[in-house]
Structures are given as structure tokens and as C-alpha cells.
Structure 1
Amino acid sequence: MNPVREVLRADDAALHHRSLSIRKEAGLPEEISALRVFDVIAWMDGKSRNLGERSDLGR
């Protein structure tokens, strides 16, 4: 998690602020953290590129 935390804090927390902006645009409550927003976006991106398929993970 440290690399993710560092990315969220880099460039005056630009990604953190963008995640909060996305949360607001999506109409999500403030209880949803910037990290959770980032997590869902990363998951959706991976899913759209079939990165989470069991066959891709060698299981």
C-alpha cells in the first residue's frame, strides 16, 4: 500500500484531489475515501482489460 499512498500524495496530492472530484461527480458520500475511489477505478480498468481473469493469474 505504500506505493499507492505515495502516488496519492505526489504532485501536491493531485491524484488524491482528482479522486475526491470523481467521488463528488459520482454523487458518492464523503464517507467513501479517496483511496476507495482509486481502488474501484483501478479495479474497473483492470476488469475492462481482462487483467483479473483466473487464467491470467496462473491459478
Structure 2
Amino acid sequence: MTTQLGMTAPQVSRHPRRLREAQLVRTHRRGSVVSCRLDAGAVERLGPDLLSVLYH
């Protein structure tokens, strides 16, 4: 994934970590793979306009 994004591994991992810290995503670990899913309820509490932008 780092090659596709043109970023280093630490740069790639920093973004989901910040979103997790802000409680905007939920993570699930399956072995060494960590998946992130947007917490629509948390984002919606920030404002419905923000949620609509994220889903487009």
C-alpha cells in the first residue's frame, strides 16, 4: 500500500491512528491485518454536511 500511496509506512499508519484518537473510525484486527471503518455516528455528530462529503 505504501507504494500505491507514495508514502512511507509510518506516514500511512499515522492517518488511521489520528482518526482513531479522534474516535472517528473503528478498527478491527485479524492477525497482523488491521481494518478501519468510518464511525458514521461519530462523524454525523460533527455535522451531516461533513458526512455527506466523506461518502461522495
Q: Flag the structure with larger Rg.
A: 1
TM-score normalized with structure 2 length? 0.33
Higher helix share: 1
Give the TM-score taking structure 1 as reference length.
0.32
